[in-house]
Amino acid sequence: MTETSRPKYPTGLAAAGKRLWRNIVGDLAEGLELDARELALLEAACRQADAVAVLEQAVVRAGPMALGAAGQPRLHPAVAEIRQGRLALARLLGELDLAGEAAPAAASSQRARKAANTRWAAHAARKAS
């Protein structure tokens, strides 16, 4: 794939989204192209990166603490939203299959698979007897 054939970032992205798009598209291996699903996931991830950047700037301006209704100090509400936005961004990026391989299964999925295989093996052994 040549540099000129790489997809341009979608309109409306801010700096964080454009940077993420350029980094991911720029790191694509030669000959690897994104399909429509991957482009949609990448666009959603870039928009999420922009949203997180806006929230981070709000916390930088206001500080991590805010005053509650009774005047008590409390964590700025944007801090929790930033955390959730970062998780959403990680999930979106995790859905991209850029290496051509599926993402490794979570530990809970691996345990569930092992348990299911054990049950099936026991079932097969009972049927064979």
Domain of residue 46, residue span? 3-128
pLDDT band for position 11 (50/70/90)?
very high
Model pTM above 0.85: no
Q: Tokens 């940077």 map to which residue?
A: 19
The token duo for 88 is 């959403």
**pLDDT in the model for residue 107:** 62
- CA–CA dist 41, 54 (Å, integer): 20
- Distances from the Cα of 126 to the Cαs of 71, 119, 120, in angstroms? 67, 11, 10
CA-to-CA distance for 15 and 53, rounded, in angstroms? 9
Which two tokens mark 11?
A: 């309109």
Confidence bin at 5 (pLDDT 50/70/90): low
Number of structural domains in the chain: 1
